[in-house]
């Protein structure tokens, strides 16, 4: 199965006999590496206990739209933002009808409306209910609204009848959930991503660095991999585990990052510079620990190589995507960087404020290229990275087809 390492999955459980399979579904999702939070409707608790779901997921179950006692303090908006994907399994005929109509009268239906993450439903019902015109028309509404349909299977039903309406097995649901994240937009392409900070040594025990955690760059590498690309991640020191199926090269200094990028860039069609590379480094790192004897100390700093600009200068150059970390005048400064570094696209973000930018789990990106500006809302870094990769794929394919038709005209 495709891994879902660190993916945040909300499993919604509604009232149906197949709810007995929900505990197994949580286990299969977790086996694939996902973090799972369970949301149960009132009817679901008649079929399986919240305690069982809490035990298998390792987290308290969310049940009420307004729950002042909730241990995690997450409300429907927080859960909707936390989710990378929502799977409702089993999804009853009643829940499918509510979702088709946009009725939001409990936690699960509300969060399905509020989330930007992909939503899938795994129907479970009697065959007559499944084939009824009302259910079928609700299902086409859901599919038109972009909601995925997992199953149902056909076979023996709890009511004693045989036919379509059986919920898929846990293993199949986990595999389909994992596949939700695979877009194929960058299939066959190689993407090189930089991430994290650099460490510039002052002496053997001290460094100049910055607040980058690597979360944004790692999310970009994951999203590119899920879009079908072969990804190389050149990362400065971070506490993160590199995404599976990504070739990871660990470096420490800006010079080492520059060297690694130069070595691997020629095979890549797309370069994304999400690393917070030090702009200056000490001219000389002392060989021994500098003693605390003088009243003051000056460090002579020299400029580091500009990795992004060096990639743009290649001939042929890949599609070059830079980031811009700014504390003010975001669009003005980022547009200046787009031109100065001759990048194809800049993902700009405000830094130095809590809740986005450095270290946070969420980010607000503004995508700027020569065609215009797209301001994304505050999103989890995983969701922001997916939006960025989608934008990059559109840009890459547009640039390539323009290039192909130019070459065709010359022949």
Provide the binding-site residues for ligand PMT, judged by CB under 6 A: 194, 212-217, 254, 273-277, 279, 304, 306-308, 322-325, 337, 349, 351, 357-359
Between residues 32 and 385, which has the closer beta carbon with respect to ligand PMT?
A: 385
Q: Is 7 within 8 Å of 85 (Cβ atoms)?
A: yes
- Single out the catalytic residue among 103, 134, 159, 336: 159
Instruction: Please list, in sequence order, all residues whose beta carbon lies within 8 angstroms of the beta carbon of residue 8, skipping any fewer than 6 positions away.
Output: 34, 35, 37, 82, 83, 84, 85, 380, 382
Q: Is 118 within 8 Å of 152 (Cβ atoms)?
A: no
Question: How far is CA 20 from each of CA 16, 47, 91, rounded to the nearest angstrom?
Answer: 9, 7, 13
Q: Is 93 within 8 Å of 129 (Cβ atoms)?
A: yes
Find residue 9's DSSP bridge partners: 36, 85
Between residues 229 and 324, which has the closer beta carbon with respect to ligand PMT?
A: 324
DSSP category for residue 398: H
Q: Where are the beta strands (DSSP E) in 14-115?
A: 35-40, 85-91
Active site annotation includes 159? yes
Dig out the tokens for 369 from the structure. 């290229």
Between residues 109 and 356, which has the closer beta carbon with respect to ligand PMT?
A: 356
Q: Is 121 within 8 Å of 96 (Cβ atoms)?
A: yes
Between residues 144 and 328, which has the closer beta carbon with respect to ligand PMT?
A: 328
Smallest gap from Cβ 270 to ligand PMT, in A, equals 13
Between residues 141 and 262, which has the closer beta carbon with respect to ligand PMT?
A: 262
Smallest gap from Cβ 28 to ligand PMT, in A, equals 30
- Torsion from C-alpha of 237, 242, 248, 250, nearest 10 degrees: 10
3-state helix, strand, coil in the chain (%, to 5): 35, 25, 40
| Residue 228 CA to its chain's centroid (Å) | 14
Between residues 39 and 388, which has the closer beta carbon with respect to ligand PMT?
A: 388
Smallest gap from Cβ 206 to ligand PMT, in A, equals 20
Residue whose C-alpha is closest to residue 212's, from 193, 239, 232, 231: 239
Just list the catalytic residues. Answer: 159
């Amino acid at each position: 199965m495709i891994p879902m390492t660190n993916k945040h999955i909300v499993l919604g459980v509604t009232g149906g006999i197949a709810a007995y399979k929900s505990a197994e579904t949580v286990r299969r999702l977790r086996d694939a590496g996902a973090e799972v939070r369970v949301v149960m409707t009132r009817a679901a608790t008649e079929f399986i206990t919240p305690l069982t779901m809490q035990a298998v997921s390792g987290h308290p179950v969310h049940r009420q739209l307004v729950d002042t006692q909730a241990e995690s303090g997450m409300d429907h908006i927080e859960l909707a933002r936390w989710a990378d994907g929502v799977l409702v399994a089993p999804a009853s005929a009643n829940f499918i009808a509510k979702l088709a109509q946009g009725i939001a009268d409990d936690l699960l239906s509300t969060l399905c409306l509020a989330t930007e993450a992909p939503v899938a439903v795994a129907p479970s019902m009697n065959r007559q209910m499944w084939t009824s015109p009302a259910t079928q028309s609700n299902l086409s509404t859901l599919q038109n609204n972009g909601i995925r349909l997992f199953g149902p299977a056909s076979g023996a039903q709890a009511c004693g009848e045989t036919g379509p309406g059986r919920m898929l097995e846990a293993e199949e649901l986990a595999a389909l959930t994992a596949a939700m994240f695979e877009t194929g937009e960058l299939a066959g392409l190689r993407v090189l991503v930089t991430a994290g900070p650099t460490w510039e040594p002052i002496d053997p025990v001290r460094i100049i660095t910055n607040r980058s955690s690597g979360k944004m760059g790692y999310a970009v590498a994951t999203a590119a991999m899920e879009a079908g690309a072969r990804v190389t991640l050149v990362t400065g020191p971070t506490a993160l585990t590199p995404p599976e199926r990504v070739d990871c090269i660990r470096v420490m200094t800006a010079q080492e990052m520059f060297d690694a990028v130069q070595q691997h860039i020629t095979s890549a069609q797309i370069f994304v510079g999400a690393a917070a590379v030090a702009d200056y480094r000490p001219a000389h790192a002392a060989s021994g620990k500098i003693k605390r004897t003088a009243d003051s100390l000056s460090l002579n700093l020299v400029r580091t190589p500009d990795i992004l600009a060096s990639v743009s200068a290649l001939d042929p150059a890949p599609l070059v995507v830079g980031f811009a970390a700014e504390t003010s005048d975001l669009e003005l400064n980022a547009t200046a960087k787009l031109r100065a570094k001759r990048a194809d696209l800049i993902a700009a973000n405000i830094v130095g404020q809590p809740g986005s930018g450095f270290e946070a789990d969420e980010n607000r990106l503004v995508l700027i290229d020569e065609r215009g500006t797209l301001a994304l809302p505050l999103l989890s870094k995983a969701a922001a990275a997916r939006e960025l990769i989608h934008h990059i794929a559109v840009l890459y394919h547009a640039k390539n087809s323009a290039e192909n038709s130019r070459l065709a005209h010359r022949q």
